[in-house]
A = this chain, B = another copy of it.
Amino acid sequence: MKLLVNATLGALLSVMSMPSIAADSPISKQQKETAQQLMETALKSDLAYDIVESLTTEIGPRLGGSEAEKRARDWGANLGKELGFDKVAIEEFTMPFWDRGHLHIALTSPYNQELYGSALGGAAPSEKEINAPIVYFRDIHALTAIKDGSLKGKVAFVDGEPMVKSQTGAGYGPSNQKRRIGWQHAQRGGASALVIRSVGSDSHRFPHTGMMSKKDDKWTTIPVIAISNPDADHLRRLHNLGKPLSISLHSGSDWQGEVTSGNVVLDIIGSEKPEEIVLIGGHLDSWDLGTGAVDDGAGIAITTAAAKLIANLPKRPKRTIRVVMFGAEEVGLLGAYAYAEKHEANLHNHVVATESDFGARNVWRLTSDVNPEATVLVDEIAKIIAPLGIIRGGSDVKGGGPDIIPMANKGVPTIRLQQEGTDYFDLHHTPDDTLDKIDPEELKQNVAAYAATIFLFADTHIDLKKKN
């Protein structure tokens, strides 16, 4: 069925009538035809799937700063060379390394039962095994209301509802509060540890890991553990029955000192304005629990494949297309900040930037935050990619993806091809983020959308650098 849809789309793109293009259109007839050819080619190409299969299989999990992430950088640079990118660079930076270590967590009252948990990024180790009663908090607000020192000798458990599912992932921010700042209140209360309901929308027995926030530039000094939604349901039911709950936990997670990470930068050099950069990319690191297929092998694959399809054209587009495989995204956008810092003097030449970091389901919306001339361009691009099922979203939507934030904060215009995210937080940061979760046909739709959009940005005659 999906194959049929794509075949039909291809045919549709071939025969669709070409409305006459006004003289002042930001897209020429030739550019439009090229964009349509790129989409047709993308819908038949296995390249993106081959890339994400290679990354997840040959490298596997690749936590920011780990030896595996180093292998991933070499893999990325080799891939760039093999695919014929004009310029391939690894830009290293240093970072503090947090390692998960071993965790054991179990209910010990009202009876013994193993729990499925994972330490949150930045969590401190337990010096020895913690055995303590659980104090139940129905949500993060209940925890934030506690008095200082009131949790001594206890483990705080913050429940809450499973994350609300939606195509935009809008439920993530609110649900994520307990992960981000919960520790500050548990620690203020003097708790021995904090356990939270996972930030995730699934009902599988997988904990969702993820980074906590620092406070006053400091990380927590207690273990902080996310447990799966079914485990949290279980604790809630026991609590509601009035059962006294207690827990045993031992966590080895800790900071391990400074290590090297890096970004991989692959360029297709522009033919007329090589100094102007259309930046796309994904992040190369993954959480250590899964193999980082959906988050973010898919983004690496989609953007690299899209650039390669453009490189296959008879002629380079006017501007440089840069694929950045960001390092150490999960652990605090460290590659993104390193990139923005290293290239600060040249950010004015980054005419647009976008990252694919929301999975591999079909793109359904194109949003933008660019100057008025470029907004007209985006409007026209949206018409060209509409046969892929993509609608034009807002023209003042901030953010081109997590790793784009630091450069967007310094004025780089952004767009976003947003993937359908209803199921994204079922897998997000869990062991279940593996290759089988990617639909090869939906991945092709992504590449088609990226290739057409990025080509048209890179080749347009309009002045993308014009200020708002």
Q: Which residues of A come within 8 Å of B, CB atoms?
A: 53, 56-61, 68, 71, 107, 110-113, 116, 203-206, 229-230, 233-234, 237-238, 241, 243, 290-291, 430-432, 434-437
Contact = CB atoms under 8 A, between A and B. Distances in A.
Given A56-B234, A60-B107, A68-B111, 12 more contacts: A57-B237, A60-B111, A60-B113, A60-B234, A113-B291, A204-B204, A205-B206, A205-B290, A205-B434, A233-B435, A234-B434, A234-B435
A434 B303 CA distance: 39
B111 A432 contact: no
Contacts of A229: 436
A157 to B, nearest CB: 16
Nearest to A162: B436
Contact of A233 (B110, B204, B243, B436): B436
A204 B432 contact: yes
A344 to B, nearest CB: 35
A116 B431 contact: yes
17 contacts: A56-B234, A57-B241, A58-B238, A58-B243, A60-B111, A68-B112, A113-B291, A203-B436, A204-B206, A205-B290, A205-B430, A205-B431, A205-B432, A205-B434, A230-B432, A230-B434, A230-B435
Nearest to A229: B436
Nearest to A238: B57
B111 A241 contact: no
Contacts of A112: 68
Listed residue (A53, A230, A430) with the most chain B CB atoms within 10 angstroms of its CB: A230
A57 B107 CA distance: 12
A298 B294 CA distance: 34
A113 B434 contact: no
Contacts of A71: 111
Contact of A436 (B57, B110, B111, B230): B230
A205 B291 CA distance: 11
A290 B231 CA distance: 10
A241 B431 contact: no
B435 A58 contact: no
B436 A53 contact: no
A16 B364 CA distance: 48
Nearest to A293: B230
A205 B290 CA distance: 9
Given A68-B111, A71-B111, A291 B234 contact: yes
Contacts of A60: 107, 111, 113, 234
Nearest to A432: B205
A403 to B, nearest CB: 25
Contacts of A56: 234
A103 to B, nearest CB: 12
A238 B68 CA distance: 16
Contacts of A57: 234, 237-238, 241
